[in-house]
Amino acid sequence: MITKTVKIINKAGLHTRPAATIVKFASKYSCEFFIQKDGININGKSIIGVMTLAAEMDSELTLTFDGKDEVEACEEIVSFFERGFDE
Amino acid sequence: MFKIDEKSLSRKKSITIKYFYETIKDIFNIKLISNKTGFEKIITTKDLLRPGLALSGFLDSFSYDRVQIFGNTELIFLKQLSKEQQKNTLKNFFEFKIPCIIFTNNNKPPKLLLDFANKNNIAVFTSPFTTTKTSYLINDFLDDQFATRISIHGAFVDVYGAGILFVGKSGIGKSEVALDLIERGHRLVADDVIILTKKGENILMGAGTNLVKHFMEIRGLGLINIEKMFGIRAIRYQKRLEIVVELEFWDKDQSYTRTGLDEETITISGVDILYVRLPIIPGKNITVISEVISLNYLLKHYGYDSAKLFEKRLQTKIKDKSNKDLRGVDYFEHDFE
């Protein structure tokens, strides 16, 4: 299991487009992927779940990956956060 | 069996007096009688206190951090004191960091108490109800506010009045089962992110989040609004959790219950909930099975346990030596239909 903390760096926050991209990335992998924010733990493969976080700029999220391809999944998704969702 | 991650649990540590007042003022008819002051102060516990002993001078184990309820007794006690005694008593009382004060029975506090409260930035409210009822209402509200909350990924539907939570891996078809159930007249509580709140010792209430409410995602279709589409009859805001159904791909190494004699339960935050594991195989109608799970649960609830009764019948049959005929009817009397 890998746990990583990431920060939202783009102005618009985690809105619909990046949320959809994260879910698309996550769905490629078989490992479980969860995101935690303010005591709420959501499934990162569910678009409604990711949008529920309504994560604004500068908020911190904890990502948890668990499964056999967790390393690859973690790399791709964390890098997407670090690039500010390419915006 | 699906597990609940520690990270899914949360609990409010405090609420402000502002939030407390604004949330309950209309539902409990609470009125502010001091200045609008001390609204930034916080409440950190669900417990209440009637400060009779503290007012009489015993301040040793005074739970000052609780919401202070002034009933008739406290008021009469204050009123019978002389001006000087009243001043001393209140001076000592207001030295503590009290969150707020609530008078009951629509009582008005003595002017001196209001002056002290305004000076010390402590809000004073009055409730139209008796002390017992006010305490009950406020305690219930605070209990809910400070209760453990659990966020779960799943679909929560009221099926014939029993709250069924569908859990399982992403993409296994929880939302599709929920949609099918809604089509058949059952009611959606929430899909995807469910927030369970513990109420009392053995009740878990489930609701959706305020952003999502009754939206749902169907793979290949996107987001749909169930309330708009199917109307008010297809939704509800909250429901007690009674059954957890875990959907999973058929696993030949797993043993699935065949008789239903040994019920499995899952413990969520100290509450035991009936747990059913449903393997998905072609030709299996999960929606209809869910309805049967609910009906069977209701039958059991009303004292009829199919599995146990069948077991009893079998035992009687084994003991009964006189009738070994297998057929269910003795004789087809002129029945050619």
Quote the ipTM score. 0.82
Q: Which CATH class is domain B149-309?
A: alpha beta
Q: What's the rounded mean pLDDT across residues B32-58?
A: 91
Q: How far is CA A7 from the centre of its chain?
A: 10
Q: How many A×B Cβ pairs under 8 Å? A: 61
As its CATH architecture, domain B15-145 has 3-Layer(aba) Sandwich (3.40)
| Chain A residues touching B217 at Cβ < 8 A | 46-48
- From B297's Cα to the closest Cα of chain A, the distance in A is 29
Reduce the DSSP state of residue B215 to 3 states and report it.
strand
Q: By CA distance, what is A27's nearest residue in B?
A: B170
Which residue of B5, B14, B193, B214 is the best one to mutate when testing the A interface, meaning the one whose CB has the most A CBs within 10 A?
B193
User: B236-262, pLDDT tens digit by residue?
Assistant: 999 999 999 999 988 877 777 777 777
Q: By CA distance, what is A23's nearest residue in B?
A: B170
Percent of chain A with pLDDT over 90: 54
Domain boundaries defined on chain B = 15-145, 149-309
In this complex, the residue of B9, B10, B209 whose CB is nearest that of residue A52 is B209
CA gap B239, B185 in Å, rounded: 16
- CA-closest candidate to residue B184, choices B153, B230, B116: B230
Q: What pLDDT is attached to residue B318?
A: 85
Domain boundaries defined on chain A = 2-86
Q: What pLDDT is attached to residue B319?
A: 85
- The verdict on a CB contact (< 8 Å) between B193 and A48 is yes
User: B51-92, pLDDT tens digit by residue?
Assistant: 999 988 888 889 999 999 999 999 999 889 888 888 899 898
Q: How far is CA B102 from the centre of its chain?
A: 26
- The verdict on a CB contact (< 8 Å) between B211 and A40 is no
CATH topology of domain A2-86: Histidine-containing Protein; Chain: A; (3.30.1340)
